Amino acid sequence: MTAVDKKQLIEDRVNAGLRGQWYPVAKSVEVKTSVPHGVVLLGEKLVLWRDGAGKIRCIEDFCPHRGAPLSYGTVHEGDISCRYHGVVVDGDGVVVRVPAMPECALEGRKALTSYQTTEAYDAVFVYVPSIEHPEAPELVLPEEFTSDAWTGFLCTAVWETNYRYALDNLADPMHGCYLHSNSFTLAYGSKQDLLKLDKTEHGFRVSRIGQVGENFDWSEIQVHPANMFCFLDIPYPAAAGPGGVFRILGFIQPVDERTCRVFFWRMRQVSGLARESFRFLYRARMEATHWAVLEQDRVILEGMPDDARKREMLYQHDLGVSRIRQLLTRAAKSQVEAELAQAQAAE
Ligand code: FES
Ligand SMILES: [Fe+2]
């Protein structure tokens, strides 16, 4: 393998999405005990459902018989039954029954890869194993998820763009005062500034130097051994009702190289009676406004060519974007090297 080939493998890995990571793949309500739910993660088709105990199971979306998508089938006593000829597979990927054929030798065979799953704050997460970490390390969640002081809503959307653009967008506070300048909450502040990047305990923060607490002035990326997420605050005008700042927690699911699904939790620091009035106000009035802002991001990112980075000209404000790329590339390099070493040892 030449250095050029290896470089390409690393670039391909960054583009597809890192392995060894937990990713959100669905809203909790989308995964049911009655019908299977198909998703695509890092270009791989997976199927999810809930077993008899309500636990979420996830295996490859591929029937061991002849390859029909199991997600077209039905959930039967906690296992999944293929629509095509009825083969039943359990949550560990073992063939339980071949109803069409008496004493079929396939029964009892472990045929499919199964994936570890967990649920948090209305979302389902799946762990994609890597050679270095076949077992899932801990999924580190934002503390707002478990704190009584915060309440919020999960909002998700599919964007027809590589997940990297969605991540870059989160690490780029300067787009707020341009792209979202006509919105209710993001219309404030100056349109010119310099940015700085500071290391934080688990990652880094990109902040505007000349403007603090006025608008989307900073964003922070937390990087943990098996997941990363972003958060940013949007100061709220008094008209938005009681409560503290509005915080966005962002996770991205790389679907395939041209598609991602964003998972944004919109959280507010608010308790007591004010909490209920915020939840009501959000549903009644604010949610639509937030969707409109998110649409602005989606449209601009979907409009960018897949290989924009080949001819982009970065300037000082892109330090968050550069840092994310550096992190992804470093992790991809270590994954690719571990895979190459394993392949070599097997030869
Ligand atoms: S392809 Fe699934 S049972 Fe035949
Ligand atoms: Fe935005």
Q: Is the CB of 56 inside a 6 Å radius of any atom of ligand 1?
A: no
CA 196 to chain centre: 26
- Pick the range with the lowest mean pLDDT from 27-31, 181-185, 223-227: 181-185
Q: Please say if the pLDDT value at position 186 is more than 70.
A: no
Q: Would you state the pLDDT for residue 101?
A: 94
Q: Is the CB of 98 inside a 6 Å radius of any atom of ligand 1?
A: no
Q: How far is the CA of 178 from the centre of ligand 2 (A)?
A: 9
What pLDDT band is residue 171 in, cutting at 50, 70 and 90? very high
Q: Would you state the pLDDT for residue 299?
A: 97
CA 6 to chain centre: 26
pTM given for the model = 0.95
Chain-wide mean pLDDT for the chain?
A: 93
Q: How far is the CA of 169 from the centre of ligand 2 (A)?
A: 7
In this structure, the residue with its CA closest to atom 1 of ligand 1 is 66
Q: How far is the CA of 297 from the centre of ligand 2 (A)?
A: 5
Rounded to 5°, the CA angle 95-96-100 comes to 90
Q: How far is the CA of 66 from the centre of ligand 1 (A)?
A: 5
Q: Please say if the pLDDT value at position 187 is more than 90.
A: no
Q: Is the CB of 82 inside a 6 Å radius of any atom of ligand 1?
A: yes
Residues contacting residue 101 through CB under 8 Å, at least 6 positions apart: none
Structural tokens at position 19: 């392995």
Q: Which atom of ligand 1 is nearest to the CA of 100?
A: 3
Q: What is the pLDDT of residues 35-83, one digit of tens each?
A: 999 999 999 999 999 998 999 999 999 999 999 999 999 999 999 999 9
Q: Is the CB of 76 inside a 6 Å radius of any atom of ligand 1?
A: no
Pocket test for ligand 1, best of 84, 96, 98 (most atoms within 8 A of CB): 84
CA 285 to chain centre: 26
Q: Is the CB of 154 inside a 6 Å radius of any atom of ligand 1?
A: no
Q: What is the pLDDT of residues 263-275, one digit of tens each?
A: 999 999 888 888 8
What pLDDT band is residue 188 in, cutting at 50, 70 and 90? low
Q: Is the CB of 106 inside a 6 Å radius of any atom of ligand 1?
A: no
Q: What is the mean pLDDT of residues 191-203?
A: 94
Structural tokens at position 53: 């105990």
- Percent of the chain at pLDDT > 90 equals 78
Enumerate the β-bridge partners of residue 21: 128
What pLDDT band is residue 133 in, cutting at 50, 70 and 90? very high
Of 42, 90, 37, the C-alpha closest to 64 is: 90
- Pick the range with the lowest mean pLDDT from 21-35, 81-95, 147-161, 283-297: 283-297
- Pick the range with the lowest mean pLDDT from 238-242, 297-301, 308-312: 238-242
Q: Please say if the pLDDT value at position 17 is more than 80.
A: yes
What pLDDT band is residue 213 in, cutting at 50, 70 and 90? confident
Whether the CB-CB separation of 180 and 199 falls below 8 Å is answered with no
Quick one: which ligand is closest to 176's CA? 2
Q: Please say if the pLDDT value at position 148 is more than 80.
A: yes
User: How many other C-beta atoms can be found within 10 angstroms of the C-beta atom of residue 69?
Assistant: 17
Q: Please say if the pLDDT value at position 240 is more than 70.
A: no
Q: Would you state the pLDDT for residue 59?
A: 98
Q: Which atom of ligand 1 is nearest to the CA of 87?
A: 3
Q: What is the pLDDT of residues 313-331, one digit of tens each?
A: 999 999 999 999 999 999 9
Q: How far is the CA of 62 from the centre of ligand 1 (A)?
A: 9
DSSP code per residue over 262-290: EEEEEEEE--THHHHHHHHHIIIIIHHHH
Q: Is the CB of 65 inside a 6 Å radius of any atom of ligand 1?
A: yes
- Percent of the chain at pLDDT > 70 equals 97
Q: Would you state the pLDDT for residue 236?
A: 73
Higher pLDDT, 197 or 243: 197
Q: What is the mean pLDDT of residues 280-297?
A: 89
